[in-house]
Chains A and B, each alone.
Chain A
Amino acid sequence: MRTVGIISHGMGNLSSVVNAFTKLGYDSILLDTPEYVSKCDKIVLPGVGAFEDGMKELTDRGLDESLQVHVASGRHLLGICLGMQLLMSKSYEFGEFEGFSFIKGEVRKIANPDLSLRLPHIGWNTTILCDQKHPILEGLPHEVCHYYINSYTCFCDEPSEVLGYFEYGDIYTSMIARENIVGVQFHPEKSQNYGLKILDNFMKW
């Protein structure tokens, strides 16, 4: 499979994601309507910005339903940053909003009770992998640096669906996986070699 579908819902810099797949030798199709979603075996749901806007932009374009069909058919989906958070049941970013519920759990703000942390959480942090047998983690060391930029983070109901953690004042979920779905909180397209490796693994999965 040499082609990846990239969901284009007006939330964030898609050219970074496209450039990364181009560098790896894959073709990208930008999906801003449901039309070609069913043609793609591999789909990436990227995105930065607020949860409510992200979900609304998908719904307005009819992409929410086509993503549900994609996942139900057993084809692969990778959520990046906000795209990962949208996979969860619910978010408390500026209100209370429903997500896809592909993975059970919530999105909440990184705790900062004594205001000792700077937020957003921006920069290179260590991702600690808990299940290196997952195909998406092929060839990665147990601890690896990735580029993060987030104030909100995922809390999974089911610990076995957590693939990796990061530490920022507390321990938080960095990667999630269930069946044909994977989500990463960091930006693999901006994390140089160990980020591009994950995108390549996704395509070979």
Chain B
Amino acid sequence: MIAGLRPLFPTPFILANKQGRVLWRSTGVNAAAGLLPLATENAFRYFPLQTGDQILLKDPASGGAGDEGFVVVTALDPNSELAALATWVPCPGTDGFKAPPLPIRLGGGLNDQILAALPPAAVEALRPRLDEAFGYARRLLAMPSSLRPSGKELEGFRSQSRKKAKALLGEMPWGEFRSEIALRSGEALRLRISVEEDGLHCDFSGSSPAKEFALPIVATTGFVRSALADFFGWSPFSEAGLEGLIDIRVPTDCCLNDAVRGSGALSSRGGPLLTLLQSALSKMPGQTQQGLSNSCDLGLRLRFTDGRELEWRLPSGAGAVEAAENLSFWGQRAGQSRGSIEKWESAAPVRVVHFSERNAPAGKGRVNGARGFHLHLILGADARGTWADFSPAGRPKLEKHQGPFDNAEILLRRGGREEPLKPGAHDFKAGDELVLLSGSGGGLL
């Protein structure tokens, strides 16, 4: 019954009580699974919210979206289990924007002063989502009593999902499963997953402090929770009951718990964490054999001398799945199917020479992993480019049935010579050629 309450939003959302306890979470693997509950709790802590009031959160330390946009918390019925709708809204041009939680709508009207302080492109992205969520709150309040979920119904949902969640954990094999990977940027990530009588524990002790790769703990827990739900196929119904049964321990001095350095673009930083998680989870007995996914996207931003910008985020290929040859990056990144050569070439001085899947699959074997992208560009003007890369250095320790995956690469062709580019910032000249190769997934041997 509660499924009828889901808003039909395209971006991640939760329905929760004012302590941030989740009643329903949209599916998908993302940092938002951790950000949104914290944002909800903080919004109610800082503001006496009434139905329809909305709070914008930017700082991940308080549950905000970091560089990529905002979290919007909309108050529904503050004194019920259905107290808030929190959603993640990507907003271009808001990276570097710092702000405490902002009351964008109190008592019905939007705060124009706050909107005026944001870049126009961000307001364009934000306003429809604010209106959608506000409309949802208003309609929920006006819902005929015959349709409105009663407190008893919501409590019944919680207790049923709790029972189901316990049963799911009870079916898991007890034991300890470890994995570790080193990143090109110098950090080491370590994970010990243990399944015990009282629940599932994820312990990141031993992971190193941040150099270039960092995530705030709230994003780390979001990736872990949503990845576990996806890996085990938990439905939102059973997931709502898992709170308190999944324990995530992240030491304060490690890169997965660094609120200062980890406050940038969060969604692109989940890659190595997801690879680490899949590596540990695939050691559990009874799991379907699968190649290891290279979950790190290739992200390149070019800023030309005339101020025009282009940004690519090319997804990597998924790990091979039994009886599913010809997987592609689409298997995991369906939302990123909008890239258009005509648009890129019209928006900035670039010419695309080649665009396809990479030639060779990485994890050759009985079943190949999915290939990444191959994008070859010629720059028509000088530009400064930034490549943020957090791919694993070398290969993580693989299971017997797993073949290796390929990491992302960028090759620079200049003056008849070709050389691999190092991650970081670079100055490019007109006529430079860049070959972008996103990672390929590992195979099944």
A and B from one complex: no
B contact set with A: CB distance below 8 Å: none
